[in-house]
Structure 1
């Protein structure tokens, strides 16, 4: 059975791909590295965004693990335009998973993207894989396993946050393990 640790990045300076972690975020990354020590992680796969790589680097260095980059873990683009009412628009995408805004992805498109990676990695070997990504994309993945994980649960995510996802041929279960 494959286990995934779905990790949302630590506190960052912004939303753009090159946004770095804040000073608090760098401290969180050290705490996260200590927290993850209790799990036997075999692989790390991260979004290419700076904040996700910085989030997992302390753990990777401490455990001599390579950070693989996969663009399917990039944050979901809500729109290529500045949306002053982005919060309302995001909420709308949890209700209508096919709605999309200029230059953006629908919830279904983004969920399909991350699910393709999970299905590709899910194998019969016993392996634990850390997937380092972003809040909205994490929510969409968890929503695909349980429709009850929606906008309200997205609002409750923390930076960082960690969910354990266990899959086998019959079912997928997840639970929040971050303290």
Structure 2
């Protein structure tokens, strides 16, 4: 798996500053190197451990070469069932990530949780709770990554969320 870019390594310093005065009880991350590298300095600063959850991983695209990735993304967002051979649909990604999120929430009631994941994976989570979050909104946040979504839950019920912090 590819590591963070030079820009990504710089961006994570800004995330540490953002979270400096915020209480965090527990951290979870995708197993992908980029997600772990992004969340690691925050975890170290807070002196907490980071639990790896395989279900927070990014979508599996498949074995085919994609000549126009934007067209592929648009097709997936317009049809959550669409996928390439040996790849995942956004519906599958969404179901997997919602299952992971609900499991995390159930294990950590009344705790402040930080989750490190990937743009598409997080986009499908937002879409699950807010159906107005479609391809058009996803495209608008792509250049803003990494970003922070602040979400408040009561049990498994999302009470509110906002796109809280952008690095760009």
Query: Could you state the TM-score of these two structures normalised by the residue count of structure 2?
Result: 0.89
Higher relative contact order (CA 8 A, sep 6+): 1
Gaps of 5+ in 2: none
1:163 aligns with 2:158: no
Aligned to 2:93: 110
Q: Deviations over 1:32-90 (max 9, x none)?
A: 01101232111111011111111111111111111111111111123221111232121
- 1:23/1:86 CA distance change after superposition, 3 Å: closer
CA RMSD of aligned residues (A): 1.6
Return the match for 1:127 from 103, 111, 116.
111
For the residue of structure 2 that corresponds to 1:136, the secondary structure is helix
CA distance in 2: counterparts of 1:50 and 1:89, whole angstroms: 24
Gaps of 5+ in 1: 1-17
Count residues with an aligned counterpart: 162
For the residue of structure 2 that corresponds to 1:130, the secondary structure is strand
Give the 4+ runs in structure 1 shifted more than 6 A. Answer: none
Greater helix fraction, Structure 1 or Structure 2: 2
User: Per-residue deviation at 1:140?
Assistant: 0.5
